[in-house]
Amino acid sequence: MNKPCTVEEHLERVLSGVRPLTPVATPLLDALGLVCAEDVVAAISLPSFDNSAMDGYAVRRSDVVGASAESPVSLPVVGDIGAGQATIRSLEPGTAAKIMTGAPIPEGADAGVPYEWTDRGVTEVRIDEAPEAGQHVRPAGDDVSAGDQLVAEGTVLGPRRIGLLASVGRATVMARPRPRVVILSTGSELRDPGEELGHDSIYDGNSYLLAAAVLRAGAEPVRVGIVRDEPGAFLQTLEAHLDGADLVVTSGGVSQGDYDVVKEALLREGVWFGPVAMQPGKPQGFGLVGAAKVPIVTLPGNSVSAYISFEMFVLPAIRTLMGMSPVSRPLLDARLTRGMTSPEGRRQFMRGQVGYDAQGRYVVPVGGPGSHLIGALAVANALIVVPEDAIALGQGDRVQVLVLDGEF
Averaged pLDDT score across all residues of the chain: 95
What pLDDT score does 372 carry? 78
CB under 8 Å, gap of 24 or more: what pairs does 286-294 form?
Answer: 286/10, 286/13, 286/14, 286/17, 286/313, 287/17, 288/17, 289/238, 289/242, 289/248, 290/239, 290/242, 292/242, 294/242, 294/245, 294/246, 294/247, 294/248
On the CB side of 67, how many CA atoms lie within 13 Å of its CA? 22
Please check the confidence at residue 279 and state whether its pLDDT lies above 70. yes
pLDDT band at 130 (very low <50, low <70, confident <90, very high): very high
What pLDDT score does 86 carry? 85
**Integer-rounded Cα radius of gyration of the chain:** 31
What pLDDT score does 201 carry? 92
The distance of Cα 16 from the centroid of its chain, to the nearest Å, equals 23
In the chain, % of residues over pLDDT 70: 99
pLDDT band at 2 (very low <50, low <70, confident <90, very high): confident
The mean pLDDT of 242-260, rounded to a whole number, is 87
The mean pLDDT of 126-136, rounded to a whole number, is 97
The mean pLDDT of 169-176, rounded to a whole number, is 98
pLDDT band at 257 (very low <50, low <70, confident <90, very high): low
Please check the confidence at residue 48 and state whether its pLDDT lies above 60. yes
The mean pLDDT of 356-363, rounded to a whole number, is 97
Distance of alpha carbon 47 from alpha carbon 389, whole angstroms: 60
The mean pLDDT of 18-25, rounded to a whole number, is 98
pLDDT band at 258 (very low <50, low <70, confident <90, very high): low
Task: Say if residues 171 and 26 touch (Cβ distance below 8 Å).
Answer: no
pLDDT band at 373 (very low <50, low <70, confident <90, very high): confident
Q: How many residues does the chain have?
A: 408
The mean pLDDT of 17-23, rounded to a whole number, is 98
**CB neighbour list of residue 108: distance below 8 Å, 6 or more residues apart:** 60, 90, 91, 92, 93
What domains sit in the chain, N to C, each tagged with a CATH number? 7-21+177-321 (3.40.980.10), 24-44+151-175 (3.90.105), 51-138 (2.170.190.11), 332-403 (2.40.340.10)
Distance of alpha carbon 319 from alpha carbon 372, whole angstroms: 27
What pLDDT score does 1 carry? 56
Please check the confidence at residue 206 and state whether its pLDDT lies above 90. yes
The mean pLDDT of 108-123, rounded to a whole number, is 97
Please check the confidence at residue 56 and state whether its pLDDT lies above 90. yes
**CB neighbour list of residue 291: distance below 8 Å, 6 or more residues apart:** none
pTM of the full structure: 0.91
Q: Which of 34-38, 252-256, 375-379 is most confident? A: 34-38
